[in-house]
Structure 1
Amino acid sequence: MADVERTFVMVKPDGVQRGLIGDIVSRFEERGLKLVAGRFMRIDDELAREHYAEHVEKPFFEDLSGFITSGPVFAMVWEGQDAIAQVRTMMGETDPAESAPGTIRGDFGLDLGRNVIHGSDTETGSAEREIDLFFEDEDLHDYDRIDETWLYE
């Protein structure tokens, strides 16, 4: 299988509160991506600061940090061919108002600040960094899905 990648995805507090974890996980599984790690957790201020490090000096950081620490999240690592691009396409635009129907944000999001889901945007940049922030190596599981021969040439 060529171009196999791992990417970080998180159902944000609004998605958790709205009971969307199962729907979101199902979409990725149905697409053929493989869940290799998952963690239901609460993000503290320190982790929020590390996760959103590029936004710390921006005026909206306090609101962003306050929201992501306001309730539990479901952090995940997904694996598959071109997983980062697939997940980004499935999520839709950051602003749900600009997201196509059929995308996660297009179907479930209503507000830019409450857009249900986060996903890494690059393999060597945010995906690797975010996976390392939320998971230890032993949390990541390698296994073969029974349907992989039907998913990839």
Structure 2
Amino acid sequence: MEKTLVLIKPDAVERNFVGKILALYEENGLKITELKMLNATEELAKTHYAEHVEKPFFPEILAYITRSPIVALILEGEDAIAKVRAINGSTDPKEAAEGTVRNLYAVSKSENSVHASDSVESAEREIKIWF
């Protein structure tokens, strides 16, 4: 069974969509193995987004991810990484397929409600950061 990390970001938590987003994962055969709500510190966010720290848009990412609570979870299932990324949809909600998390709940391309690991290596790294 494959594991992946999902972060339900501040915009979705603030608008009370946590339960609806979790239900989409469970309805698609994924099992929640760990879950917690927390406030991401700047240090935690910088570790998670290390590849973006020097980029001009990083201050916006940092302000967004630390502005209010997030929900971090580990999902497990067959092809969990690809499955979660399909359930989440395109980072641009205008391009996200109907019924995906971002189509349903994202505010914009930058406030896109969820993060998911994009590979086995990323999942392993990110799970260690958040759990």
Say which is worse superposed, 64-73 or 108-117, in terms of deviation.
108-117
Match of 2:127 among 131, 142, 145: 131
Q: Distance in 2 between matches of 1:27 and 1:111?
A: 20
Deviation at 1:100, TM superposition (A): 1.1
Ranges in structure 1 where 5+ consecutive residues have no aligned partner: 136-153
Structure 2 alignment gaps of length 5 or more = none
Aligned pair count reads: 131
Return the alpha-carbon distance in structure 2 between the equivalents of residues 47 and 109 of structure 1: 23
Distance 1:28 1:45 in 2: 28
Q: How do 1:43-82 residues align onto structure 2 when only pairs under 5 Å count?
A: 43-82=40-79
CA distance in 1, matches of 2:111, 2:18: 15
Say yes or no: does 1:37 pair with 2:34.
Answer: yes
Which whole-Å deviations, capped at 9, do the CAs of 1:38-76 have from their partners, x for residues lacking one?
A: 010000000010000010011000000110000000000
Residue 96 of structure 1 deviates from its aligned partner by 1.0
Q: TM-score, normalised by structure 2?
A: 0.98
| Aligned counterpart for 2:3 among listed residues 3, 6, 21 | 6
Give TM-score scaled by structure 1 length. 0.84
Query: Could you say what the CA RMSD is over the residues aligned between the two structures, in angstroms?
Result: 0.7
Task: Report how far residue 110 of structure 1 moved.
Answer: 3.1
Q: Which amino acid aligns with 1:111?
A: S
**Partner Cα distance (1:9, 1:95) in 2:** 17
| CA deviation after TM superposition for structure 1 residue 101, in Å | 1.1
Residue 89, structure 1, aligned to residue 86, structure 2: yes
Could you say what secondary structure the match of 1:87 adopts? helix
Q: Whose Rg is larger? A: 1
In the TM superposition, what are the counterparts of 1:106-121 in structure 2 within 5 Å? 106-121=103-118
